[in-house]
């Protein structure tokens, strides 16, 4: 069980807790609750539905928050006046059969509308704190880099480079890639700089760079470099 300032809680003043501040000009009531943090697709689309929970979002079921009576519950309600803040501790009760790899959840603070709703459009404000954890045992950070390709000859148009990176492990990592073109004498003509994308377990990503404003004519030395989860490919 993680709570307070346990070793594996965040290294902040609050530890395993979130801090909610009313930055507005009116008081409000709000509720605090937990949902999965589900990432899917190569564009890392986010959803927070329990129905779409995966093996990597089970931590949302292990977290409870401390209510005003000091009890740890699945959902709690509080009130804040303008300028006030409240620190709300949370507890993570980790089962013995935790799956290997990373875990993701969100703790939300959502303003409650106390007025009677009479139809039309209602806007509800909420802010979320993303909670991430990693199993100390069976974590596997692994990537496959395939389909490396870049334009080798062209009469006109941009010079393209791309590759496919698949996260075949059970934890997230950052994919870093860059494209650089130099003259045959070593003068740098173009560089994309280091680009990055977050790669989540079980997802395939198609990364690409384009040298748009190429010279009218030339012969160049081009380098396309990709690194992910300890793997590096250079073409």
Share of the chain above pLDDT 90, in %: 74
pTM higher than 0.85, yes or no?
A: no
pLDDT at 59 over 70: yes
State the pLDDT at residue 113. 78
The C-alpha atoms of residue 48 and residue 65 are separated, in whole angstroms, by 18
CB atoms within 10 A of CB 172: 21
Instruction: pLDDT band for 157, please (50, 70, 90 cuts).
Output: confident
**pLDDT tens track for 4-30:** 999 999 998 999 999 999 998 989 999
Q: What is the mean pLDDT of the chain?
A: 91
Stretch 94-102: mean pLDDT: 84
pLDDT at 119 over 60: no
């Amino acid at each position: 069980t993680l709570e307070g300032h346990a070793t594996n809680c965040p290294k902040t003043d609050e530890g395993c807790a979130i801090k909610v501040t009313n930055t507005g000009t009116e008081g409000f009531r709000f509720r605090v609750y937990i949902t999965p943090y589900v990432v899917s697709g190569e564009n890392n689309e986010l959803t927070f539905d329990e129905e779409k929970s995966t093996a990597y979002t089970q931590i949302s079921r292990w977290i409870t928050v401390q209510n005003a009576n000091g009890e740890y519950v699945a959902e709690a309600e509080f009130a804040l006046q303008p300028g006030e803040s409240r620190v709300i501790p949370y507890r993570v009760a980790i089962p013995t059969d935790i799956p290997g790899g990373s875990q993701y959840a969100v703790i939300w603070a959502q303003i409650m509308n106390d007025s009677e709703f009479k139809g039309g459009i209602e806007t509800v404000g909420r802010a979320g704190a993303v909670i991430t954890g990693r199993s100390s045992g069976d974590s596997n950070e692994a990537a496959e880099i395939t389909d490396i390709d870049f334009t080798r000859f062209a009469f006109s148009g941009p010079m393209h480079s791309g590759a496919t990176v698949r996260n075949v492990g059970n934890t997230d990592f950052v994919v870093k890639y860059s494209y650089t073109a130099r003259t045959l004498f070593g003068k740098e003509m173009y560089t994309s700089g280091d680009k990055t994308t977050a790669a989540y377990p079980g997802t395939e990503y198609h990364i690409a760079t384009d040298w748009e404003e190429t010279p009218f004519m030339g012969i160049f030395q081009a380098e396309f470099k990709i690194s992910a989860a300890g793997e590096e490919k250079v073409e």
